[in-house]
């Protein structure tokens, strides 16, 4: 899916422009990581944050978390430069992942505590990151957590509706997006 332009409020619209209110073409918009990079690598600050996001995704993949998806939001998904006159500091990410076969939640946390501590993730990757395990069967607690994030991210703090993105956890997408980001950096340095 294409990432819609910011609306008049300078945020991603909650429903794709031109669609009716009951349209399934709505937030979270499913996009590729390369599409995300192409759209948001517009300044040195945003490029730095995108590098951190890709490094975070690669670090998660090294823990063998490769099945799942992420929702991306925060001021990174807004035209913060116009709204507040300054760039975003980070990107907000919630990772919904399936526990790898033969692993327990304690295994993942014990082997990689820095990837599951939101304070450490923010410092190391410029990602305000949270992780939530999902299973084969949708449980009531899964529905509540997903609903929580949806309700948190579908509005700005000033209560304006807004949209956000969804990307698949994928090594191939990470590689493609990393190459595109490096190309954008090289071309920017040449201009």
pLDDT at 125: 97
pLDDT at 157: 79
* Cα–Cα dist 92/129, whole Å: 6
DSSP 100: P
Q: Is the dihedral of CA 69, 113, 130, 121 positive or negative?
A: negative
Paired tokens of 139: 């449980």
Burial class from Cβ neighbours inside 10 Å (0-12, 13-18, 19+) for residue 83 reads: middle
pLDDT along the chain (191 residues), means of 10: 91 87 84 96 97 96 87 95 96 91 83 90 96 74 78 80 90 95 86 55
Residue 33 near residue 54, CB atoms below 8 Å: yes
Domain ranges of the chain: 29-190
- The pairing of strands 165-168 and 68-73 is antiparallel
Q: Report the candidate in 107, 135, 112 with the shortest Cα–Cα distance to residue 61.
A: 112
pLDDT at 92: 97
pLDDT at 140: 66
The pTM score is 0.88
């Amino acid at each position: 899916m294409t990432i819609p332009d910011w609306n008049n409020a300078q945020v991603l619209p909650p429903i794709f422009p031109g669609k009716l209110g009951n349209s399934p073409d709505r937030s979270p918009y499913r996009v590729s990581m390369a599409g995300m990079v192409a759209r948001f690598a517009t300044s040195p600050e945003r490029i730095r944050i995108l590098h951190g996001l890709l490094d975070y995704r690669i670090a998660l993949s090294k823990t063998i978390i490769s099945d799942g998806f992420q929702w991306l939001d925060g001021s990174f998904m807004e035209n913060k430069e116009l709204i507040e006159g300054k760039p975003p500091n980070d990107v907000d990410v919630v990772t919904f992942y399936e526990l790898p076969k033969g692993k327990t939640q304690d295994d993942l946390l014990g082997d990689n505590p820095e990837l599951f501590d939101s304070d450490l993730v923010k410092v190391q990757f410029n990602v305000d990151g949270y992780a939530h395990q999902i299973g084969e069967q949708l449980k009531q607690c899964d529905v509540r957590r997903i609903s929580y994030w949806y309700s948190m991210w579908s509005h700005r703090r000033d209560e304006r509706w807004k949209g956000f993105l969804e990307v698949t956890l994928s090594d191939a997408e990470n590689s493609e997006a990393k190459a595109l980001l490096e190309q954008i950096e090289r071309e920017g340095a040449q201009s």
